């Protein structure tokens, strides 16, 4: 076996041709990315870069606007890499030109702190998103350089990174600060990888190591501003040095980006302690704080993690960005060890197929910021006021529009999550119609998948080496799957070896080798851990990686009164005309007889039930018809 | 039958000697009333009446402080009527002296608007509690006059009422405003009854009639202050004229006090339209918006009513004051028709025995402002921040301390809710050890109850006329009761007539007549209306009027995982050593086997269950031991 470190096959080496993903990716390219540009333009996010805001102008730039623009640029760059679009390229170049002009002589690059409050530069790292915006600029620039081969944007970003590098650090003349909203850490590792300039990695490691140490930088910074320090720093994951953090706390998106940076640094530096901290945090998140949809961050208060097993359904925050962040982190965790462990890919798949896709409408024009697992329109109105419509109907944009711009970047680079490789191994993490191009031992090898996943569990893998070559092919057996079945060139492979969740076959691969992997997809009734109080007495329906939900549209308004017998048979059937084509689950449940309640709010005894047909649709497709009630966790008898 | 209007037997004509109520009333008198005085003193609420607050003094009087002091005074006066206490009387007189000095030459009497913002008098009726405080002063003064026969306080209150009467009204020189927090309406009716001065009733009717009319007074008032008008007036029940209001909306305590005022005015004026509005609102509240505990107002947002059937358990607001307000209103509704209907007494009983008593600890020293029906300590912390401890542990006092001062006044005048009478009828609404003294047709008649209600359903009624006298005795058959059983002088009364929920017996009552009423109290499993989404698949346990709950202390932390079989036998047993003596309910339920969850948050299949003993205690007694989880609505199989 070789020693080359395992790495993802980059998205531009993977062409997607998939009944499930291709329409979403094309809609993202043709509708959502242009729409994102238009929203940035209309809302003033682009003009902010002209630095000509004047006191009194109502379109006052906001401290996080740069990040929205940068995330859109990253998505546009990735999209351009796969699909030429002159107008998109021109828009992108125009923004780069604005940034070029906006960059200060010392390299500083922030529309808000240059035009609105220049005197406040670097005075409030904790709250004001300055280094966060820098991180997104760097990420976008790396993607742009990679996509276009043009160095203009990455040169700007390097100058800014150098400015930051000369400002922060352990030297006596440096500030010992670190990002209040993590993001720059992972971006600097990307910049290091793109430029081979080790200073960027070292600055990332400095930020990580400094975080949560005493005296607390945010305390000192608060005192300098003449303000009271914060009571605690969980919200910013700055309550402890990162290596001592055992539990995911605080703002969920911040946490995800921090953990990504930690994993990246661990991978690049071989820091085993940092890697172990990531593994401990991973277990806390995925074994105690993750919705069945792959959503994380239970509460709107601080968009935060809460206590272990505290996963309320109706009030679930489960921000789209946090689910996307979990995919980012899972993808890194897949590469933190010598060999990937499928548990990371299981979570990556869970989030992608459920909470992430829920974030955008099928038409690509509307977005969810939060992703509740239960919606009662009247109740939500009553509880939160009508301004909180955004929780049960996708919106066109948000004043804080981090989620739409994260969706466009994850969908435009989706191919990177499917395959990884070392010098003599190929890993298939996800099943989606696609072709990955690699060179193994100097020989071009394509791996081509044909599948109707996630609606069907059959996957045909065509191994297409230019000429015969030996390597090991690892195929993930999803954690949800029992009785997987494998054929090689028509012959069943009995007792195939599975290591860390991957079946592996080492052989001299020849042209026209074909693997058939069968992942049986019965409908599953899923229980949650008994300490998840909100799901006691309830089950969720899953099939393959897909979490299902009941929508009022297909059922009835009072979804909460539906009770499913524990032995009820549930059938899966593909409906090509529904929501772009999807597998629905049907069965018979029961509801209480409705009579006898006139004038009564409470009454003794237990009402007889009557049978009722139910129909569940994939959670990721909810709210694509009329707004109405929705339920993931169903009462069970 | 006579024509005298039905009226309550006042509390001082009813002596309580009851195993359930007497300890609560005595604790209220000996502990809570003195404690309330001390809190008013310590917090500056008494000193505020010295009117010597100066800018910069941190103990700045608050616009609602007068109401707390007045409610305490009302409670103290009622207590003095029953139980001489020189120290209490002195404290009360000292406050009256302060008020006497604080009263302005024109009769105006408000500590805040006299000492802090005199220029703002009557400029913001909507928000600033000015007429609300006036109402409580009037109520207290009426109670004081009645209790002591001393006219000093009621004279002060009359001068203030006259000042208000000369300020508000329909004349060209008057303001057409009305209270933003209703209360003065009902207080003016009390003042009218105490003084026979019809102007006070007319002013109450003016306030009621003016409410919600156009042009909207609060709009005009806002414009005068240079402020934007409110978007709507549901919060203040000022969105429509009161006669057009069909649904209970907005702030629940405000609503209760308004409906009390409407009922009082309807009773005094014979206004059938107003009475009918009360009946319609009553049905909306009690058939769609009331917790099983008699709590009302589902949400913390605006301490408000929400949509029909929106009765979440964990986030229930169910303010103690609102439940007390519901008792006040129910008591008035019992007297709005020629004959009482027991449905009003049923609700009065429900609130009194459950949500009202839950508001104060057994020791009388700690208070709940909100009364949730489910508590998960970790979750609540996570959801609301630790400052919201007040939701799951009683507190010593509140900055807004309306609830403790309402508790002291309802407990100190409890006797008034038990009996009513006309000139030839006596009604027994509640069952509690007590003796009511009346004069029927010129003959002294005592009605004496002996009972261990609510723990036992047997009630012995001794009818004790000085000499034989004919009248009708009406005994309420509680709505929760089936198969009530009645004996007169040892003989079963078969097929007794029941009208509007009251069994009635007309006869020439003789000394030593004894009635035995048996109200069987099986343990009942109660279902909620199917549209109460939060209670689907759940039951609550009741026995007699008592709602039960599971506490972590007697059971386990994961109360939500307990499932009760629909046919499970539940047994009632009296435990004299528990919580001052109470009947507990025990039975066998099941919980999921706990094994097999290591590393897992979700898994397929349904876990086997194992039996578990459960023990439920009266809801009104929860949180009198260690803080912990609590649950009213239990999952059912």
Report ipTM (2 d.p.).
0.93
pLDDT band of residue A397 (cuts 50, 70, 90) is confident
Taking CB atoms and an 8 Å limit, are B529 and A594 in contact across chains?
A: no
Interface with chain A: mutation pick from B375, B533, B612, B636, highest number of A CBs within 10 Å: B533
Residues B251 and B326 in one domain: yes
- Tell which of B228, B251, B269 closes a domain: B228
Q: Collapsing DSSP states into helix, strand and coil, what is residue A206?
A: helix
Mean pLDDT within B592-600: 90
Residue B381, pLDDT > 70, answer no
Task: Please indicate, yes or no, if residue B379 is contained in any of the structural domains.
Answer: no
Taking CB atoms and an 8 Å limit, are B383 and A312 in contact across chains?
A: yes
pLDDT band of residue B1 (cuts 50, 70, 90) is very low
Helix or strand holding residue B152 (H, E): helix B152-167
pLDDT band of residue B477 (cuts 50, 70, 90) is very high
Residues A584 and A465 in one domain: no
The verdict on B541 touching A (C-beta cutoff 8 Å) is no
Mean pLDDT within B526-548: 96
> For residues B393 and B26, which has the higher predicted lDDT (pLDDT)?
B26
Phi then psi for residue B634, to 5 deg, are -105, 135
Q: Nearest CA to B33 among B90, B76, B74, B91?
A: B76
Task: Please indicate, yes or no, if residue A320 is contained in any of the structural domains.
Answer: yes
Determine the Cα–Cα distance for residues B211 and B257; give it in Å rounded to an integer: 14
pLDDT band of residue B384 (cuts 50, 70, 90) is very low
Task: Please indicate, yes or no, if residue A280 is contained in any of the structural domains.
Answer: yes
Interface with chain B: mutation pick from A288, A343, A381, A533, highest number of B CBs within 10 Å: A533
The verdict on B166 touching A (C-beta cutoff 8 Å) is no
Question: CATH number for the domain including A481?
Answer: 2.60.40.1180
Q: Are A261 and A208 in contact (CB under 8 A)?
A: yes
pLDDT > 90 fraction of chain B, expressed in percent and rounded: 91
Phi then psi for residue B456, to 5 deg, are -130, 150
B93-102, long-range: CB < 8 A, 24+ apart: B95/B46, B95/B49, B95/B69, B96/B144, B96/B152, B96/B153, B96/B156, B98/B46, B98/B49, B98/B50, B99/B49, B99/B137, B99/B153, B99/B156, B100/B152, B100/B156, B102/B49, B102/B50, B102/B51
Question: Tell me: the pLDDT tens digits for B318-349?
Answer: 999 999 999 999 999 999 999 999 999 999 99
Q: Are B59 and B53 in contact (CB under 8 A)?
A: yes
Question: Tell me: the pLDDT tens digits for B481-516?
Answer: 999 999 999 999 988 899 999 999 999 999 999 999
The verdict on B601 touching A (C-beta cutoff 8 Å) is yes
Give burial (CB, 10 Å; 0-12/13-18/19+) of B504. middle
Does residue B482 carry a catalytic annotation? no
Domain that holds residue B357: 240-374+392-413
Residues 449-488 of B with CB under 8 A from A: 480
Residues B443 and B543 in one domain: no
Q: Nearest CA to A447 among A361, A548, A515?
A: A515
Q: Are A248 and A285 in contact (CB under 8 A)?
A: yes
Determine the Cα–Cα distance for residues A206 and A188; give it in Å rounded to an integer: 11
Give the pLDDT of residue A29: 97
Distance of CA A616 to the CA centre of its chain: 24
- Which candidate in B40, B163, B402, B403 is catalytic? B402
Q: Are A490 and A460 in contact (CB under 8 A)?
A: no
Question: Tell me: the pLDDT tens digits for B92-141?
Answer: 999 999 999 999 999 999 999 999 999 999 999 999 999 999 999 999 99
Residue B380, pLDDT > 60, answer no
Give the pLDDT of residue B594: 84
Q: Are A404 and A36 in contact (CB under 8 A)?
A: yes
Chain B residue with CA closest to A558: the answer is B531
Residue A168, pLDDT > 50, answer yes
Q: Which two tokens stand for residue B263?
A: 């009922």
Residues B43 and B185 in one domain: yes
Question: CB-CB: which of B382, B531, B597 is closest to A558?
Answer: B531
Chain B residue with CA closest to A379: the answer is B310
pLDDT > 70 fraction of chain B, expressed in percent and rounded: 98
Interface with chain A: mutation pick from B602, B612, B635, B636, highest number of A CBs within 10 Å: B602
Question: CATH number for the domain including B346?
Answer: 1.50.10.20
Does this model's pTM top 0.90? My answer is yes
Residues B157 and B113 in one domain: yes
Residue B386, pLDDT > 50, answer no
- Tell which of B518, B553, B584 closes a domain: B518
Task: Please indicate, yes or no, if residue A496 is contained in any of the structural domains.
Answer: yes
Task: Please indicate, yes or no, if residue B235 is contained in any of the structural domains.
Answer: no
The mean pLDDT value of chain B amounts to 95
Pairing between β-strand B634-636 and β-strand B563-564 as defined by DSSP bridges: parallel
Give the pLDDT of residue B379: 67
Residue B382, pLDDT > 70, answer no
Give the pLDDT of residue A4: 73
Determine the Cα–Cα distance for residues B371 and B629; give it in Å rounded to an integer: 13
Mean pLDDT within A566-584: 96
Taking CB atoms and an 8 Å limit, are B383 and A532 in contact across chains?
A: no
Give the pLDDT of residue A594: 84
| Active centre residues of A (catalytic) | 303, 402
Taking CB atoms and an 8 Å limit, are B533 and A558 in contact across chains?
A: yes
End-to-end CA distance of chain B: 53
Residue A381, pLDDT > 60, answer no
CA distance to A376, A421, B441, per residue, from A556 (Å): 12, 48, 61
Residues A327 and A424 in one domain: no
Determine the Cα–Cα distance for residues B236 and B248; give it in Å rounded to an integer: 11
State the smallest CA–CA distance between residue B456 and chain A in angstroms: 19
Residues B56 and B132 in one domain: yes
**Residue A436 neighbours by CB distance under 10 Å:** 21
Q: Are B625 and B615 in contact (CB under 8 A)?
A: no
Residues 277-316 of A with CB under 8 A from B: 283, 286-288, 290, 292, 298-299, 301, 306-307, 310, 312, 315
Residue A1, pLDDT > 70, answer no
Distance of CA B2 to the CA centre of its chain: 31
Task: Please indicate, yes or no, if residue A9 is contained in any of the structural domains.
Answer: no
Residues A223 and A264 in one domain: no
Q: What residues of B are in contact with residue A527 (Cβ under 8 Å)?
A: 592, 602-607
State the smallest CA–CA distance between residue A570 and chain B in angstroms: 13
Question: CB-CB: which of B307, B385, B560 is closest to A533?
Answer: B560
Give the pLDDT of residue B376: 87
The verdict on B230 touching A (C-beta cutoff 8 Å) is no
Question: Tell me: the pLDDT tens digits for A596-614?
Answer: 899 999 999 889 999 999 9
Taking CB atoms and an 8 Å limit, are A599 and B532 in contact across chains?
A: no
Give the pLDDT of residue A388: 59
Residues A425 and A409 in one domain: no
Helix ranges (H only) for A289-376 are 320-333, 342-350, 357-358
pLDDT band of residue A474 (cuts 50, 70, 90) is very high
Taking CB atoms and an 8 Å limit, are A307 and B378 in contact across chains?
A: yes
Residues B251 and B147 in one domain: no
Exposed e or buried b per residue across A65-89, where buried means at least 16 C-beta atoms within 10 angstroms of its C-beta: bbbbbbbbbbbbbbbbbbeebeebb
Q: What residues of B are in contact with residue A384 (Cβ under 8 Å)?
A: 301
Q: Are B74 and B133 in contact (CB under 8 A)?
A: no
Q: What residues of A are in contact with residue B533 (Cβ under 8 Å)?
A: 376, 379, 558, 560-561
Residues B433 and B350 in one domain: no
Task: Please indicate, yes or no, if residue B67 is contained in any of the structural domains.
Answer: yes
Determine the Cα–Cα distance for residues B543 and A29; give it in Å rounded to an integer: 64
Residue B593, pLDDT > 70, answer yes
**Residue A162 neighbours by CB distance under 10 Å:** 16
Residues B291 and B397 in one domain: yes
Question: Tell me: the pLDDT tens digits for A528-548?
Answer: 999 999 999 999 999 999 999
Q: Are B203 and B178 in contact (CB under 8 A)?
A: no
Chain A residue with CA closest to B312: the answer is A379
Residue B401, pLDDT > 90, answer no
Give the pLDDT of residue B385: 46
pLDDT band of residue A385 (cuts 50, 70, 90) is very low
Q: What residues of B are in contact with residue A536 (Cβ under 8 Å)?
A: 558, 560-561, 563, 635
Question: Tell me: the pLDDT tens digits for B191-226?
Answer: 999 999 999 999 999 999 999 999 999 999 999 999
Q: What DSSP assignment string belongs to A434-445? A: EEEEEEETTEEE
For B439, residues 6+ apart whose C-beta sits below 8 A from its C-beta are: B445
What total number of domains does chain B contain? 4
Task: Please indicate, yes or no, if residue A382 is contained in any of the structural domains.
Answer: no
For A481, residues 6+ apart whose C-beta sits below 8 A from its C-beta are: A457, A519, A520, A521, A544
State the smallest CA–CA distance between residue B166 and chain A in angstroms: 40
Phi then psi for residue B222, to 5 deg, are -60, -45
């Amino acid at each position: 076996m070789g020693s080359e470190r395992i790495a993802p096959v980059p998205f531009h080496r993977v062409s997607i041709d998939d009944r499930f993903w291709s329409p979403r990716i094309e809609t993202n390219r043709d509708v959502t990315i242009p729409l994102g540009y238009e929203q940035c333009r209309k809302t003033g996010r682009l003009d902010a870069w002209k630095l000509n805001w004047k006191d009194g102008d109502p379109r006052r730039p906001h401290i996080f606007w740069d990040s929205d623009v940068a995330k859109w640029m990253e998505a546009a760059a990735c999209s351009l890499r796969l699909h030429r679009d002159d107008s998109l390229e021109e828009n992108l170049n125009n923004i780069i030109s604005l940034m070029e002009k906006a960059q200060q002589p010392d390299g500083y690059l922030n529309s808000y702190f240059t035009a609105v409050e220049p005197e406040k530069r670097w005075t409030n790292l904790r709250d004001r998103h300055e280094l966060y915006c820098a991180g997104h600029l760097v990420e976008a620039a790396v993607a742009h350089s990679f996509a276009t081969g043009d160095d203009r944007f990455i040169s700007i970003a390097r100058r800014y990174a150098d400015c930051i590098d000369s400002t922060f650090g352990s030297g006596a003349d440096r500030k010992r600060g670190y990002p209040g909203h993590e993001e720059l850490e992972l971006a600097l590792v990307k910049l290091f990888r793109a430029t081979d300039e080790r200073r960027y990695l070292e600055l990332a490691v400095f930020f990580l190591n400094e975080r949560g140490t005493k005296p607390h930088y945010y305390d000192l910074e608060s005192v300098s501003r003449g303000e009271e320090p914060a009571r605690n720093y969980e919200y910013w994951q700055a309550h402890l040095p990162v290596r001592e953090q055992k539990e995911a706390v605080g703002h969920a998106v911040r946490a995800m980006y921090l953990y990504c940076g930690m994993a990246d640094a661990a991978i690049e530096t071989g820091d085993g302690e940092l890697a172990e901290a990531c593994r401990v945090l991973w277990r806390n998140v995925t074994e105690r704080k993750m919705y069945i949809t792959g959503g994380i961050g239970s509460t709107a208060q601080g968009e935060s993690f809460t206590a272990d097993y505290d996963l309320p359904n109706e009030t679930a925050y489960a921000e789209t960005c946090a689910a996307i962040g979990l995919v980012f982190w899972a993808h890194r965790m897949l590469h933190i060890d010598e060999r990937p462990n499928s548990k990371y890919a299981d979570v990556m798949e869970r989030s992608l197929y459920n909470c992430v896709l829920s974030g955008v409408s099928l038409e690509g024009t509307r977005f969810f910021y939060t992703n509740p697992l239960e919606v009662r329109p009247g109740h939500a109105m009553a509880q939160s006021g009508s301004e909180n419509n955004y929780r049960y109907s996708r919106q066109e944009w948000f004043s804080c529009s981090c989620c739409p711009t994260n969706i466009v970047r994850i969908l435009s680079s989706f191919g990177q999550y499917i395959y990884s490789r070392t010098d003599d191994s190929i890993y298939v993490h996800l099943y989606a119609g696609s072709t990955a191009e690699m060179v193994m031992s100097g020989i071009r090898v394509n791996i081509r998948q044909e599948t109707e996943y996630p609606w069907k569990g059959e996957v045909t893998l065509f191994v297409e080496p230019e000429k015969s070559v030996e390597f090991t092919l690892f195929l993930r057996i999803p954690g949800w799957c029992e009785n997987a079945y494998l054929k090689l060139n028509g012959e069943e492979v009995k007792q195939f070896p599975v290591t860390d969740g991957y079946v592996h076959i080492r052989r001299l691969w020849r042209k026209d080798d074909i693997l058939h992997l069968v992942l049986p997809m019965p409908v599953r009734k899923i229980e949650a851990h008994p300490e998840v109080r909100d799901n006691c007495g309830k089950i969720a329906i899953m099939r393959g990686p897909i979490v299902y939900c009941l929508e009022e549209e297909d059922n009835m308004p009072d979804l909460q009164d539906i009770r499913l017998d524990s032995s009820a048979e549930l059938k899966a059937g593909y409906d090509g005309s529904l929501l772009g084509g999807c597998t629905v689950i049907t069965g018979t449940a029961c509801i209480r007889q409705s009579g006898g309640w006139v004038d009564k709010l409470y009454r003794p005894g237990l009402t007889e039930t009557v049978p009722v047909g139910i129909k569940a649709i994939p959670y990721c497709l909810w709210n694509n018809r009329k707004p109405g009630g929705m339920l993931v966790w169903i009462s069970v008898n």
